[in-house]
Structure 1
Amino acid sequence: MEEELPLFYGESGKPVQATPSSLKMLDVGKWPIFSLCSEEELQLIRQACVFGSAGNEVLYTTVNDEVFVLGTNCCGCLGLGDVQSTIEPRRLDSLSGKKIACLSYGSGPHIVLATTEGEVFTWGHNAYSQLGNGTTNHGLVPCHISTNLSNKQVIEVACGSYHSLVLTSDGEVFAWGYNNSGQVGSGSTANQPIPRRVTSGLQNKVVVNIACGQMCSMAVVDNGEVYVWGYNGNGQLGLGSSGNQSTPCRLALQGVRVQRVACGYAHTLVLTDEGQVYAWGANSYGQLGTGNKSNQSYPTPVVVEKDRIIEIAACHSAHTSAAKTQGGHVYMWGQCRGQSVVLPHLTHLSCTDDVFACFATPAVSWRLLSVVKKQNYSAVTKINPSDFHKCCSLDTVWLLSGRQHCLHPVCLQVRCEHFRSSLDDSEDDIVEMSEFSYPVYRAFLEYLYTDSISLPPEEAVGLLDLATFYRENRLKKLCQQTIKQGICEENAIALLSAAVKYDAQDLEEFCFRFCVNHLTVVTQTSGFAEMDHDLLKNFISKASRVGAFKN
């Protein structure tokens, strides 16, 4: 008999029942502020953001979409209608029931929040009109901001020290607040009391990502270009000078396509579509990762390791940088509890969020912490890897592409709609599955067992086929994420073809953009030469429409 793959077995070797209550709990214990919450309260948390000058304020949502806050409540930043501090969580009734998509905070602090419906709410410190409500009065309760945004769906928010940015679903950027250095991008240095679209330099651009330093702003457009504006005294705009910019200016990064940008207090990180990191700006704590403490006004490569970088992290209230590799390694550099780390340092942590909880000063969140909701059923408790190969004595024998295994049918039904329908009335002693290869089935079973996948991008294509066939939408998303993180010039056409074949539209658009951005090299690969005729025809037509072949 082949090695067996018993599913959903815990450390005791006994089956573990999968229930909605077994949802992964968000690990917030590394942030000191959460020591004020009970264990029962912590188990209900679905999203959280720690903010404030000392990390002494927090907003979190529960599994029931209720919103709670606690902390010192500086300038009414908890949104409770008063300025009283609280060591017990208080429900923020005005936002309870709304689903939060993203959240950012300033130094006052002020809060900018967007819901999944694209609405924007702001509250807190407002001395410089950073709430966008047309006044300079502190906002003690969340205020819905609709001026110039009423017909827009906001998908991303970012706050500097005292200014705010939002990004809409159609790729437009709106800004407001403090503007002493041009960080609002209006062309002047007058404060902006209400949201205004940033047009100069971005007029005909589709922005896909925004970020703010203390007094500067950044935007990444869909062709991989980066636009910067605001304060530049430490070279954080990366323009080779120290002069401020009152309107967006394109950054000169020749031959580089940027996917994401992250801003620290006065330094900037970008992540390219090939998994490389560049940094520039202030470097007094080594936050550029260059091995010294000299400021850099030009983009400088950050050497982390040979593995591809898939995530970068920084926040405007800290001098700390972090990155995560495709292999799951997390690195940090910069300010580390008062010390200076001048080169990327491999941590024992599993996510970049923990870097800011454990090492940054103050201990705040660099983004809204979130637990990914599972579809219908969630993963079971984690198990030891050695348990994966333990024998399981069951009546039903499974043939996976000719290989014999013992599996637990009840657990398969819990985790997969396909098995729930196909096994309900089955009394067969042998269940044969041969639509896919054995490695694909094995990866699928590991996903059902661990709720995660660990595959090279090319192998994830086969699993994407299975996910499409079984209508496993969460698995389909995980496969697409893996493929995106592993794309390169050599495999781009193959991955594009797979995306088209399996109707993964988001992945198809991602692969297409990558091919266009690296057109010269991609067209010289064997994959392009062997491209399906119809796909090649459609690719050339679409690429022509976006100007890929213009001189």
Structure 2
Amino acid sequence: MKKPDGGAVAKCSSALIVISWFLVVLQSWSLSCLWVEAHPLCRCTHLMTPQELSVIRRAFVFGTFANEAIFITTDDEVYVFGLNCSNCLGTGDSLSTIVPKKLDFLSGRKVVSLSYGSGPHILLATEDGELFAWGHNGYSQLGNGTTNQGVVPILVSASLLNKKVIEVACGSHHSMALTDSGEVYAWGYNNCGQVGSGSTANQPTPRRVSSCLQNKVAVSIVCGQTSSLVVVDNGEVYGWGYNGNGQLGLGNNGNQLTPCRIAALQGLCVQQIVSGYAHSLALTDEGLLYAWGANTYGQLGTGNKSNQLSPVQIMTDKERVVEIAACHSTHTSAAKSQSGQVYMWGQCRGQSIVLPHLTHFNCTDDVFACFATPSVMWRLLSMEHDDFLTVAQSLKKEFDNPETADLKFCVDGKYIFVHKAVLKIRCEHFQSMFQSHWNEDMKEVIEIDQFSYPVYRSFLEFLYTDQVELPPEDAIGLLDLATSYCENRLKRLCQNIIKRGITVENAFSLLSAAVRYDAEDLEEFCFRFCIHHLTEVTQTAAFWQIDGNLLKDFISRASRCGAFKN
């Protein structure tokens, strides 16, 4: 990467420039970040050119005061800059840097997961399943068996040989890794049992967390400051470590030295879980949101500041939640609804917001950029650049534009304006149809009567944008269309929309549709949902209205899964 002009560096003090670098990353992180736009330090000279910013693909701002940053370019080069506390930049020295430095040892490795601890220390997992660590190591949180700071990325191999790491998580001074086989490993500081080993002795190298997780398949891991949580494949949640504020959700405030299932979530299938400094949030497959733990700043969203030792449902008056966010170094919470509305609560710019507050943001990441203390990122973020229109953006802009269109469809008496060339290029169905029947000298209007207007318009828009914006109730019709037109990618997108809209009432109808349209992934998802909510689903009208053969097949399949065992 090209380095900035040295003359520009001399114009500001080193401290201001470091923060200026950080602000540049935050600006590219979130265009709607009002805090960044209003901050006086933004008036410092920006040291990265637009060309340099344009190659950033992923970014992560971290550190005790959010004054370190790491970013990954489009060609998988890893760069760092900032104050370099505890060698957390991994550059080989303890010097701060205002100029992004490349970590050569990580060149070409595709990063799939990244997390930081409060030390700070860094964990990074690659597409090949390798685990790297560097930074603060006073409690062996790097997993290399020593307490020496990691000045450069260290390949963590002890106890992980022949294991493929797919996800990492850090607490304040402990670490966790999840393998592709669903095993959980933990190491580092263990004063409260956060490593899950059954003792409070620090763990110098990765050790598999077993106990009641021995025969479970974990699918997600998160850390609070001194606590750990895991979601397993059947939607159960297990926690261990510090529990003084009830952040494990066990109904008490006693520490746990080994994993313990959160009994209060029994009967719910949790899909996502996040942890703040001392509170936790869980999102179920039905879009229900639960919170528990510390509540000093209202971070549980219950309307008061009382701690909760067991999960309580919040946002009950809002629409379905599809994403939740929290970070172990903050007391801030955020959630995104199915329609894209973003809410925040907890400690926001030093104020306590005790109920979910609707924001103008488009993503939960903006909440942490603008309002969290410190303003760290809660996840490794993908970057988007809007300084020019790409081919895809230009196509999107021209969809349903009568001024440039040369073809129109009539559906339910409404017109949709499109371009023959785009349809021929993007869809084999239209390519074949136009070659067989199209007369270039005739101005055609194509009538569509087998699909509804919202469904067909969404399909045509997909050909321009690769995206689908459709309510779940209409996605079944679009799935039918995608099956008829052999659009496999569109089928997958429809299935994802339907998954997010599944409820007890419609689950069996969706299962029937998945079978009818040969959507295997959706079929498996709906089947698992029905099994997790078997009693409720079997009492719905949809269950008893289904074709007898499908009903027999479901009962047979459910029995093989042990659904009817006492």
2:373 paired with 1:361:
yes
Aligned mate of 2:296, from 284, 291, 295: 284
In structure 2, distance between residues paired with 1:371 and 1:417: 32
Instruction: Show the counterpart of 2:537.
Output: 522
Identical amino acids, percent of aligned pairs: 63
Aligned mate of 2:262, from 231, 251, 254: 251
2:86 paired with 1:75:
yes
More divergent stretch after superposition (508-517 vs 183-192): 508-517
Instruction: Show the counterpart of 1:212.
Output: 223
In structure 1, distance between residues paired with 2:72 and 2:433: 37
In structure 2, distance between residues paired with 1:106 and 1:245: 21
More divergent stretch after superposition (68-77 vs 468-477): 468-477
RMSD: 2.9
CA-to-aligned-CA distance 1:390-428 (integer Å, 9 cap, x gap): 523655455669976542123345655665676689654
In structure 2, distance between residues paired with 1:372 and 1:460: 27
Pairwise CA distance, 1:180: 0.7
TM-score computed with the length of structure 2 as normaliser = 0.85
Residues 98-497 of structure 1 aligned to structure 2 (within 5 Å): 98-253=109-264, 254-303=266-315, 305-370=317-382, 379-381=392-394, 390-392=401-403, 394-398=405-409, 405-413=416-424, 415-416=426-427, 428=440, 429=442, 430=444, 432=446, 437-439=451-453, 440-468=455-483, 470=485, 472=487, 474-497=489-512
Pairwise CA distance, 1:316: 0.1
More divergent stretch after superposition (98-107 vs 435-444): 435-444
In structure 2, distance between residues paired with 1:57 and 1:465: 49
Label 1:378 to 1:448 Cα distance change in 2 as closer, same or farther (>3 A).
farther
Q: Secondary structure at the match of 2:134?
A: strand
The one-letter code of the counterpart of 1:285 is Y
2:29–2:59 CA contact under 8 A, matched in 1 = no
CA-to-aligned-CA distance 1:231-268 (integer Å, 9 cap, x gap): 01111111222110000011122433322111000011
Label 1:85 to 1:221 Cα distance change in 2 as closer, same or farther (>3 A).
same
CA-to-aligned-CA distance 1:296-355 (integer Å, 9 cap, x gap): 112122126430011111000000000011011100000011111111100110100111
Label 1:141 to 1:475 Cα distance change in 2 as closer, same or farther (>3 A).
farther
1:304–1:344 CA contact under 8 A, matched in 2 = no
In structure 2, distance between residues paired with 1:528 and 1:53: 53
Residues 46-57 of structure 1 aligned to structure 2 (within 5 Å): 46-57=57-68
Pairwise CA distance, 1:37: 3.3
Count of aligned pairs between the two proteins: 522
More divergent stretch after superposition (33-42 vs 183-192): 33-42
In structure 2, distance between residues paired with 1:533 and 1:371: 50
The one-letter code of the counterpart of 2:564 is F
Aligned mate of 1:531, from 546, 558, 565: 546
In structure 1, distance between residues paired with 2:359 and 2:517: 38
Pairwise CA distance, 1:527: 2.3
Label 1:450 to 1:225 Cα distance change in 2 as closer, same or farther (>3 A).
same
Q: Secondary structure at the match of 1:380?
A: helix
Pairwise CA distance, 1:185: 0.5
1:336–1:361 CA contact under 8 A, matched in 2 = yes
The one-letter code of the counterpart of 1:298 is S
CA-to-aligned-CA distance 1:345-376 (integer Å, 9 cap, x gap): 00110100111001000111101112599xxx
2:301–2:346 CA contact under 8 A, matched in 1 = yes
In structure 2, distance between residues paired with 1:46 and 1:346: 29
1:103–1:114 CA contact under 8 A, matched in 2 = yes
The one-letter code of the counterpart of 1:158 is A
Label 1:393 to 1:173 Cα distance change in 2 as closer, same or farther (>3 A).
closer
Label 1:544 to 1:151 Cα distance change in 2 as closer, same or farther (>3 A).
farther
In structure 1, distance between residues paired with 2:384 and 2:272: 21
Label 1:382 to 1:206 Cα distance change in 2 as closer, same or farther (>3 A).
same
Label 1:422 to 1:93 Cα distance change in 2 as closer, same or farther (>3 A).
farther
Q: Secondary structure at the match of 1:201?
A: helix
More divergent stretch after superposition (498-507 vs 394-403): 394-403
Q: Secondary structure at the match of 2:154?
A: strand
In structure 1, distance between residues paired with 2:353 and 2:239: 27
Q: Secondary structure at the match of 2:105?
A: coil
Label 1:383 to 1:407 Cα distance change in 2 as closer, same or farther (>3 A).
closer
CA-to-aligned-CA distance 1:70-104 (integer Å, 9 cap, x gap): 11122222222222211122222222212111111
In structure 2, distance between residues paired with 1:433 and 1:156: 49
In structure 1, distance between residues paired with 2:412 and 2:400: 18
Pairwise CA distance, 1:461: 2.0
Instruction: Show the counterpart of 1:6.
Output: none
More divergent stretch after superposition (260-269 vs 143-152): 143-152
Label 1:331 to 1:406 Cα distance change in 2 as closer, same or farther (>3 A).
closer
TM-score computed with the length of structure 1 as normaliser = 0.87
In structure 1, distance between residues paired with 2:537 and 2:451: 29
1:104–1:158 CA contact under 8 A, matched in 2 = yes
